[in-house]
Amino acid sequence: MEAQVRAEENQAPDSARILILDYGSQYTRLIARRVREAGVYSEIHPYDMATEALAAFGASGIILSGGPESVGGDDSPAVADAVIDAGVPLLGICYGMQALAAKLGGAVESSSHREFGHAEVDIAADDSLLGSVASAGRPLKVWMSHGDRVETLPQGFEAIAASRNAPLAGMADYERRYFGLQFHPEVTHTENGQRIIERFVHDICGCPSDWTPRNIIADHIERVRAEVGSQRVLLGLSGGVDSSVVAALLHEAIGDQLICVFVDNGLLRLNEADQVMATFGEHLGVNVVRVDAEQEFLDALKGEADPEVKRKIIGRKFIEVFDREAERLEGVEWLAQGTIYPDVIESAGSDTGKAHVIKSHHNVGGLPERMKLKLVEPLRDLFKDEVRQIGRELGLPQELVGRHPFPGPGLGVRILGEVRKEYADLLRRADDIFIGELREQGLYDDVSQAFAVFLPVKSVGVMGDGRRYDYVVALRAVETVDFMTARWARLPYEFLDRVSNRIINEVPGISRVSYDISTKPPATIEWE
């Protein structure tokens, strides 16, 4: 059986959709999420998207993102003729505004007064995009990030916003429904930025709010049924959010045609394997084949301490076990994966989504070349928060759909150095106490990711009148928006004190607990 990318990609519903052309901004992905939060489907594509593809997309409106370049440079990206010829409303943000102005005959120049960070703009009270988003007579607080600015508006435009250092901080051509904003409405630092996005997609582009969890589920079920027909589908169920939602969605769509293989590699969290089987096998009635492969993984990892080598060993062993189980199944024609939209974007090597490439390590860690299954990826057009939303709508428990990220190699990269069963068992119990207390104290959802790390070193401790010489664990909790950068979570001292005492008292073999206060960068979130 050989994995191959299917010929036809998943398509979004044939309803209103916003095209976002990426000029390299760090906020491009955020624009897409804001549009979807307004109930409208959106996709990110490169600014130089092929003319035929742009026309075939059928956009109800187009947003031009910001970017790091200067308009007018030798290699600076421009607005394509196809964008203008599309005949739909346009919104240029930061560089997108400057590029649009230059394309239509305006002038853009470097400013001696750059604006980076918080700023205030005065807005036109009667403007259809910005009017009334701030209290009457009060400036709008926004987030700026630019060195260049529009000096002369193109013909047909008028100014709709002005800041101290950018007299033309917003522009509009009402007849053609073209708009430009020098500031970033997509970031939370901009006051009422979401309302501005909603004004554009709803009032100006005329898009209804039909991108909802219920509609998404109905549409995706219809597409899966049309694509798969009566054939059987195989899914490698990991117990993570993405594969769990795929399992629930496919079960809703095709019932017993779905077969899940759950590989228990011995590197999961405490009782996680039993929880997966209870949730999917017993409560949802999903056909799940459980494979107990703990000893196989431990044997393969014996004596290996290098983090990257450990990852490769775990990935190869998973493929081996999964492939062995798949060979025993008859009549399977499709392989399901939990690929989500950020995977599609990142697989293209940038935030442009220029190519729909499957990540070789996604879910099953890179499939054997002899595996010849057609690929179905029901979630490939969804962001993580949307995946969680439809998981809830499908009836999955909040403890599952709201859980923190867990690395593919599991505890294999949270045990520093060689992986041993003794270490994994100690770490499981310590991690369970930490996560359990976060939930109990109402702190779990306040942090983006939390976990314990096992350190293969011993430290002297005292219990009663006795001396202990046992292992050390480190606790890690971070706050982040995009996981590209992160700061350590300022958990209450009383909480950390309670967790530390519980771990040392309840987990024989651990004598010391530390708390990781490293930021990313320079540190990574995971230790390995």
For the chain, give percent helix, strand, coil, nearest 5.
Answer: 35, 25, 40
Between CA 175 and CA 157 the distance in angstroms is 9
Between CA 402 and CA 106 the distance in angstroms is 48
Amino acid at 496: L
Residue boundaries of the structural domains of the chain: 17-204, 213-401, 420-515
The confidence score (pLDDT) of residue 341 equals 87
The confidence score (pLDDT) of residue 351 equals 43
Cβ of 418: how many Cβ atoms within 10 Å? 14
Q: 17-204 belongs to which CATH class?
A: alpha beta
| Residues contacting 56, CB < 8 A, separation 6+ | none
Amino acid at 300: A
Can you list the alpha helix ranges (DSSP code H) found in 441-492? none
Q: CA of 225: how far to CAs of 67, 250, 251, 284, in Å?
A: 40, 9, 11, 19
213-401 topology per CATH: Rossmann fold (3.40.50)
Intrachain domains 17-204 and 213-401 with the same fold: yes
Contact present, 374 and 336 (Cβ < 8 Å): no
Q: Which two tokens stand for residue 265?
A: 């590699």
Provide CATH code, domain 420-515.
3.30.300.10
The confidence score (pLDDT) of residue 233 equals 95
E strand residue ranges, 277-429 = 288-292, 332-336, 372-376
Between CA 132 and CA 125 the distance in angstroms is 6
Q: Which two tokens stand for residue 107?
A: 């002038």
Q: Which two tokens stand for residue 337?
A: 């994966």
Q: What's the pLDDT tens digit per position in 177-191? A: 999 999 999 988 899
What's the length of the chain?
A: 528
Q: What's the pLDDT tens digit per position in 467-508? A: 678 999 999 999 987 677 889 999 999 999 999 999 999 999
Amino acid at 174: Y
Give pLDDT tens digits along the chain (528 positions): 333 333 233 344 457 999 999 998 888 989 999 999 999 999 999 999 999 999 999 999 999 999 888 887 778 899 999 999 999 999 999 999 999 999 999 988 876 555 567 888 888 878 889 888 877 678 889 888 766 889 999 999 999 998 887 889 899 999 999 999 999 999 888 999 999 999 999 999 999 999 999 999 999 999 999 999 999 999 999 888 999 999 999 999 999 999 999 999 999 999 999 999 998 888 788 999 999 999 999 999 999 999 999 999 999 999 899 889 888 888 899 999 988 888 787 665 444 443 333 333 334 344 555 557 889 999 999 998 899 999 999 999 988 899 998 988 999 999 999 999 999 999 999 999 999 999 999 999 999 999 999 999 988 776 655 667 899 999 999 998 767 788 999 999 999 999 999 999 999 999 999 999 999 989 999 999
- State the pTM of this model: 0.78
Q: CA of 499: how far to CAs of 298, 373, 439, in Å?
A: 29, 47, 12
At residue 109, the 3 state secondary structure works out as: strand
Please name every residue paired with 269 in a beta bridge, in sequence order, or none if there are none: none
What backbone torsions phi and psi does residue 67 show, to the nearest 5 degrees? -175, 165
- Report CA torsion sign: 258, 263, 264, 269: negative
The DSSP 8-state label assigned to residue 88 in this structure reads S
Contact present, 184 and 193 (Cβ < 8 Å): yes
At residue 21, the 3 state secondary structure works out as: strand
Supply the residues annotated as catalytic.
94, 184, 186
CB-count exposure of residue 229 (10 Å: 0-12, 13-18, 19+): exposed
